[in-house]
Structure 1
């Protein structure tokens, strides 16, 4: 049997949650085919969001401030290369919105460790935000290793991706 006080409490909690959701920023919604893979070609500065073999969206982007080569150590300014996965979302990024990738993987960690160094982390797809908009005018590749697109493009990417989507980053 359902107790009346529990029902009242449940209704109050639902109302409180609904009120919280209406106070935050509005995010784009995506209702098309699922993104099954992200392919990033660093050399061409082109990123593709794929569903199966169909390209859903393609974007130009900026990279880390040392764009050539695979990220090996924290602070090297390089963007990783290889297979990773979407693993987190940050709606409060200082660069508008961000979507994290699973760098470093165990191989990246082991490689850096043999030199007594950290592989680093916090590699993201992100927008530019106010700070990045200033930096991108000076230099296309300005991040510490992240992949950056315009804020508007990042809103699309943020809406389209889901946790676990593979991210293949080519040189």
Structure 2
């Protein structure tokens, strides 16, 4: 009879693992193969990132942001997500996080403001998936803002974003 509790425990753990894996997948069908975003809006207060094409919403994702709070990024190491108008200016398929699209922060205004304060503006702000090896977290990553100033989505969502957001796409980040 001692094996019955063990079987129940193993079954419960398997159910939790299966549910966690399912949470990483979107309930929505994937965007069409020919879908292309022409702008991205990141709303920090709403914790959302919306992809647009021709003024129409393609898809909205729930995101995690920088763990330094909702205030605008002002300096290196503040762990905040910047605010302003930027562009996707690079992509990294070998990122420490599941794929990453680089946002062109800091721009000249961000740099000048930081220099005036005697600080460095920081950099390496990305849209990315979950840290490699932790993708099983799925949507659980949204429970807290955990990045160093980046914008994070699930790995499955990042694969879609990677596919439909070309280099040069404008990105507005606002509170």
In structure 2, distance between residues paired with 1:30 and 1:53: 17
* Aligned 8 A contact 2:35 2:164 in 1: no
Residue of 56, 59, 70 corresponding to 1:57: 59
Quote the Cα distance in structure 1 between the aligned partners of 2:142 and 2:50: 25
Corresponding residue of 1:43: 45
Return the TM-score normalized by structure 2. 0.76
Runs of 4+, deviation exceeding 6 Å: none
Displacement after TM superposition at 1:66 (Å)? 1.5
What residue in structure 1 maps to residue 166 of structure 2? 162
Aligned to 1:76: 78
TM-score scaled to structure 1, two decimals? 0.77
Unpaired runs of at least 5, structure 1: 1-27
Report the aligned-residue RMSD: 2.2
In structure 2, the partner of 1:8 is none
CA distance in 2, matches of 1:38, 1:131: 26
CA contact (8 A) 1:85 1:167 kept: yes
Q: Distance in 2 between matches of 1:137 and 1:46?
A: 14
Residue 84 of structure 1: CA displacement? 0.4
Greater CA radius of gyration, 1 or 2?
1
Query: What displacement does 1:33 show?
Result: 3.6
